[in-house]
A = this chain, B = another copy of it.
Amino acid sequence: MITASIVGASGYLGGELLRLLLGHPEVEVAAAVSTRMPGRRVDTAHPNLRECTDLRFCREDQLPDTDVLLLAAPHRETMRILPRLAARAKTVIDLSGDFRLTDPARYEQFYGVPHEAPELLGEFVPGCPELYRDRLRTADRIAVPGCMATAAILALAPLAEAGLIAPDVEVDARTGSSGSGATAGPQNLHSERSGALRIFSTGGHRHEAEIAAACGVRPRMTATGVEAVRGVQVVCRTTPVREITEPEVRAAYRRRYAGEPFVRVVAHRRGTYRLPEPKILLGANYCDVGFALDPGGGRLLAIAALDNLVKGGAGAAVQSLNVRMGWPERLGLEFTGIHPV
């Protein structure tokens, strides 16, 4: 049994961390820091946790020493918070974007401001066990990738690692509204966001840098907000470097993800849910990946879906923690998702 504390606990990712860790058999939640709601019960912000906990949010200065510290604070703020809190915990898992990139110049390029703790950048291992499991076993600084990045990375990794695709990749990402967080602006008003098909990025998105670093590709991403609260789907358009066949691609995916507890290869010939779709993944830690190869073989779509707050955030953090602690990787993450929903 270890203790865990969460900073940024009143936001949506903070709420998911609480949900997962309160249900985790090896973790005791020691503190939930919120600057917006100190003193309030955590189920005020997260009504799904009613009668699961009597915990209250606390201020940062009330944070106890803890075995693992999870940060779900905003980008730019986190690079100020983390240095002053890092000593409070042996292991730090950050869910913001501030420690995902290793190169400060790259950070400034994508985030528009200089990094304020560049000396820490190199210490973090990406919280993506499918790619970095061995390093995570001993990592005490973990940075969970962005939700759309995780989907794209898991869709592309089997192809990129096998050398099957050219480096230029078009990533079409679709995402629900919860990715904008609990304090978002007027464009997230229900009347405006409901029924949206809102192309909010046509290239240069921060997650491109993470995909590039993980897969060695040159991604170009568009992102569309769709009518959903949770869920991310990516469709990656790739070009095979040589003639390949559908069974060959299928084998590459199956081989790469054999034994992975949270990646399922979904590429069926028929059926309603024959390709990855977030609808059946809400609350679950799965990333479903699939593909479609053009008959001529000239184009290969790599597709993935996940719940942005679980596998795209809090679930990946818990899975990484499980790896770090040597626990069974599915611990506390057994929920399968529901259907229909």
Contacts and interface: CB of A to CB of B under 8 A. Distances in A.
A81 interface: no
B230 A227 contact: no
Interface in A42-74: 44, 46-52
Interface string A288-306: 1000101100010101010
Nearest to A170: B237
Contacts of A227: 195, 226-228
A327 interface: no
A2 interface: no
A212 to B, nearest CB: 15
A61 B229 CA distance: 42
A284 B277 CA distance: 22
Nearest to A271: B44
A50 B266 contact: yes
A337 interface: yes
What interface size band does chain A fall in? 35 or more
A301 B222 contact: yes
A142 B87 CA distance: 56
A88 interface: no
Given A47-B339, A202-B275, A230-B341, 11 more contacts: A12-B340, A48-B280, A48-B281, A190-B190, A195-B228, A199-B292, A226-B227, A229-B341, A230-B340, A282-B341, A283-B341
Interface of A: 12, 15-16, 19, 22-23, 44, 46-52, 170, 172, 174, 176-178, 180, 182-184, 186-199, 202-204, 220, 222, 224, 226-231, 233, 235, 237, 264, 266, 271-273, 275, 277-284, 288, 292, 294-295, 299, 301, 303, 305, 309, 334-341
